[in-house]
Amino acid sequence: MGEWCRNGRDEGDILQRQNFYDRRSSKQVLDNVHGNIYLDKLALNFIDTEQFQRLRDLKQLGVTYMVYPGAIHTRYEHSLGVYWLAGEAARYLQTYQGEELDIDRFDVQTLKLAGLLHDIGHGPFSHLFENGFLPRVVNEYKWCHEKMSLSMVDYIVDEHNIDIECESLKKVKEMIDASSSITVANSAKEKRFLYDIVANGRNGIDVDKFDYIGRDSRACGLGCNFHFQRLMESMRVIGNDICYPAKEYLTVHKLFTSRADLHRTVYTHAKVKAVELMLIDALVKANDYIPISAAIMDPSLYWKLDDTILKTIETSTEPELKESRDLILRIHRRNLYQFCNEYAVPSVNLEHFKEITARDIICSQKSSRVTLREEDVIVSNVKIDLTRGQCNPLESTYFFKDYSTDEKLTITHDRISHLLPKCNQDRIVRVYSKKPELVESISEAFENFQLNVYGVKAQVHDTPEKKKRRR
């Protein structure tokens, strides 16, 4: 393979870009992250449906906006962004390896549609619905938004008679589900590298993360030192695997650390989690009267479910929804479940960590001043990693030395930097009190639990005295 020219976008590159996104048959949208996005005719057939427009009523970060006021962007914007980046990834590969990889218009369109529709199955309030609410109300049924996305895609095609080839539809669905079902069959597919662009289950490097890391950081007013353009413009395919220049290993690592930073400071912020825990309780209490969970079995019902369910409960006058309304009112008045304290699980205990429960805390109570009940205590077990659990995702990432070689290689952790942590995962245990007057008792029981399990208090700070005395 000859050496590639990567010295910016020359006149030929601009012309090719114009041909790649045929502006005569596309619609232009101005995105606040990526600039001009061109939507092709087939994409518009999906976008201009009530099922896709529902994404406008799903905030990308759920209730995070109650702590970070700017985080009001939606799944709709994110989906357009992933659509665009999937097309850009295909364009770069087609530009530099088009003949070699045999990427055709069918591949490009399929890839872009997968990016557009990858989140069509998300429920209200981001991952709270799937990971917090459903496990409380649905027994022995494993549900995930990726599977619902597949059902929603079929439903939209049938409901609106969208003219799409069966083979294209099949591949779109496989690409959406790639992150949750990497099978032997998928690994043997022709042009397997295409399945790693939108939802990469091999190492987590995909355009979905490229978009949401930048978009979420911007919305929350945070800086972001990860720049996906360097990876997009320098990637190449070797042996059916997407590879990156070896000199970009720190850029790859920044992708994962930036994601972990967002989890720590935004997605799992202690106040955000407090609001989420209250909202989950409100939805669970409302579920008996409003069959929210029943919608997950039927796309024709599911698409009508979005964040406006909160306003539906809040404005209802039905007595059956009073408990849920009261919880929502508490959220608005910032009378939240009280965060008592937290600790990070010691690294030596991570491998055999078992999630802590409210019962574990109340069983550690020694003071008889007040008797704690399980329903008074909430424990939040937070996991933050680099997408691969305790493993380093760089070990599953392929690199190459330069463009004159077809040899791919991996970079071990010790060759990256001695400054990087040895452990790739954090487990944080947080405890909350539903009632302000119980903060002191719950905090003491929480400290006793740590002493019983670890022999020391693992938390960094003591619970403030003014919080303990709050009534």
Name the nearest CA neighbour of 108 among 87, 93, 81.
Answer: 87
| pLDDT for residue 2 is more than 50 | no
The mean pLDDT of 225-248, rounded to a whole number, is 93
What is the third-level CATH fold of 11-270? Answer: Hypothetical protein af1432 (1.10.3210)
Determine how β-strand 241-245 pairs with β-strand 398-400: parallel
pLDDT tens digits along 268-315 = 999 999 999 999 999 999 999 998 999 999 999 999 999 999 999 999
Q: Which of 73, 118, 122, 145 is catalytic?
A: 145
| pLDDT for residue 61 is more than 80 | yes
Cα distances (angstroms) measured from residue 353 to each of 11, 144, 428 = 57, 24, 11
Name the nearest CA neighbour of 95 among 20, 39, 26.
Answer: 20
Q: Give the pLDDT band of residue 418 (cuts 50, 70, 90).
A: low
| pLDDT for residue 65 is more than 90 | yes
Lookup result for tokens 């009261």:
326
CA 185 to chain centre: 26
| pLDDT for residue 81 is more than 80 | yes
Q: Quick one: pLDDT at residue 15?
A: 43
CB 375 within 8 A of CB 432: no
Domain assignments of the chain as residue spans, ordered by start: 11-270, 338-386+424-471
d(CA 276, CA 270): 10
pLDDT tens digits along 394-410 = 888 999 999 888 999 99
Name the nearest CA neighbour of 278 among 62, 97, 15.
Answer: 62
| pLDDT for residue 252 is more than 80 | yes
Across 60-69, 402-411, 462-471, the highest mean pLDDT is recorded for: 60-69
145 an active-site residue?
Answer: yes
Question: Percent of the chain scored above 70 by pLDDT?
Answer: 90
Name the nearest CA neighbour of 338 among 435, 213, 211, 235.
Answer: 435
Question: Residue type for 88, please?
Answer: E
Question: Residue type for 348, please?
Answer: V
Task: Give the pair of three-digit tokens for residue 449.
Answer: 């639990």
Task: Give the pair of three-digit tokens for residue 18.
Answer: 């114009």
The mean pLDDT of 231-249, rounded to a whole number, is 94
**Sequence-distant (≥ 6) Cβ neighbours of residue 406 within 8 angstroms:** 1, 238, 239, 400
Name the nearest CA neighbour of 421 among 386, 461, 451, 470.
Answer: 386
- Please provide the size of the chain in residues: 471
Q: Quick one: pLDDT at residue 423?
A: 80
Q: Where are the alpha helices (DSSP H) in 177-237?
A: 184-187, 207-219, 228-234
| pLDDT for residue 8 is more than 90 | no
Instruction: Classify 338-386+424-471 by CATH class.
Output: alpha beta
pLDDT tens digits along 133-186 = 999 999 867 889 999 999 999 999 999 999 999 999 999 999 999 876 554 345
| pLDDT for residue 188 is more than 70 | no
CB 79 within 8 A of CB 118: yes
Name the nearest CA neighbour of 421 among 460, 394, 461.
Answer: 394
**Range with the poorest average pLDDT among 14-28, 190-204, 206-220:** 14-28
**DSSP type of residue 416:** T
d(CA 92, CA 103): 11
| pLDDT for residue 127 is more than 90 | yes
d(CA 403, CA 234): 10
Beta bridge partners of 241: 238
d(CA 43, CA 50): 14
Which residue has better confidence, 14 or 341? Answer: 341
Task: Give the pair of three-digit tokens for residue 16.
Answer: 């090719």
* CB burial readout 451-469, b (16+ within 10 A) else e: eebeeebbbeeebeeebbe
Q: How far apart are the first and last CA of the chain?
A: 72
CB 356 within 8 A of CB 381: yes
